[in-house]
Amino acid sequence: MAWTDSHCHVPYEGIGTEVIELARRAGVTRMVNVGTDAGQSATAVAVAQANEGVWATVGLHPHDARNGVDTIVHLLGEAKVVGIGECGLDYHYDHSPRPVQRDAFAAQIALAKANDLALVIHTREAWDDTFAILAAEGVPERTVFHCFTGGPTEARLALDLGAVLSFSGIVTFKTAGDTRAAAALCPLDRLLVETDSPFLAPVPHRGGKNQPAYVVAVGAAIAEVKGVEVADIEASTWDAAERVFQFP
């Protein structure tokens, strides 16, 4: 048994591929390297293909939605691609116009279904539109809400759709009581852990660059919330990641 970091970006600002070996030494033997635009998706694929235990997604982040989804589709047939995304809506930063974000999200939902890939969703301050677009397009069979930051209400809505919730280092932050409450109600077979490295380093690593090895701290926080052993979270998140990403 070992850990899966269900969402990281390697390499990315401040971290290089050496973090893969550091993760392995910490017992994190499986990583999903997530694309955010054409360049980063191509990098994620190349790193996955060069490293055992590393898998990739191809996607267009809402920040980059203005680039157009046609900039990433050529990567979908590459070996070790297990998902589409991260994609979705970010109404906090609005780096791309909202109608453009909505179109790119809908297009990537369709791609996930057409290619039988997991859908990796990023949503920030956009719950209503996120759920509305999923309802209109139809929810892919394997759908992940990455870096879940909602509370119990949003967790129930997402779980009712059949989606899986992926929790990040945010669950270790003092201020995240609502998100811990969401983790508390999320069934273990629908719960993943991730780092989203190099962002969001969990306590006790907060302040530094995050890396996949630190997913163990996220798992420990989930174990505390659930009142179970850390090894139980290690096992359940390993199995849940297998079901969601179907690592070939």
Chain contacts with Zn ion (rule: CB under 5 A): 196
Could you tell me the smallest distance in angstroms from the CB atom of residue 138 to Zn ion?
A: 24
Q: 37 or 196, CB closer to Zn ion? A: 196
> Residue 179 forms beta bridges with which residues?
none
Q: 90 or 196, CB closer to Zn ion? A: 196
| SS3 of 132-158 | HHHHHHCCCCCEEECCCCCCHHHHHHH
Query: Residue with the closest Cβ to Zn ion?
Result: 196
Q: 5 or 196, CB closer to Zn ion? A: 196
- Residue 210 · residue 197 · CB < 8 Å: yes
Could you tell me the smallest distance in angstroms from the CB atom of residue 86 to Zn ion?
A: 5
How far from each other are the two terminal CA atoms of the chain, in whole angstroms?
Answer: 18
Could you tell me the smallest distance in angstroms from the CB atom of residue 58 to Zn ion?
A: 13
Could you tell me the smallest distance in angstroms from the CB atom of residue 197 to Zn ion?
A: 9
| SS3 of 43-66 | HHHHHHHHCCCEEEEECCCHHHHH
Q: 125 or 224, CB closer to Zn ion? A: 125
Q: How much is the CA Rg of the chain, to the nearest whole Å?
A: 16
What order do you get walking across the sheet with 54-58 strand by strand? 3-8, 28-33, 54-58, 81-90, 118-124, 143-145, 164-167, 191-193
Give dist(CA 94, CA 98) in Å, integer: 7
Q: 152 or 199, CB closer to Zn ion? A: 199
- Residue 63 · residue 80 · CB < 8 Å: no
Could you tell me the smallest distance in angstroms from the CB atom of residue 231 to Zn ion?
A: 27
Q: 40 or 172, CB closer to Zn ion? A: 40
Could you tell me the smallest distance in angstroms from the CB atom of residue 104 to Zn ion?
A: 16
Could you tell me the smallest distance in angstroms from the CB atom of residue 87 to Zn ion?
A: 11
- Residue 149 · residue 124 · CB < 8 Å: yes
Q: 3 or 12, CB closer to Zn ion? A: 12
Cβ neighbours for 113, distance < 8 A, ≥ 6 positions apart:
138, 140, 141
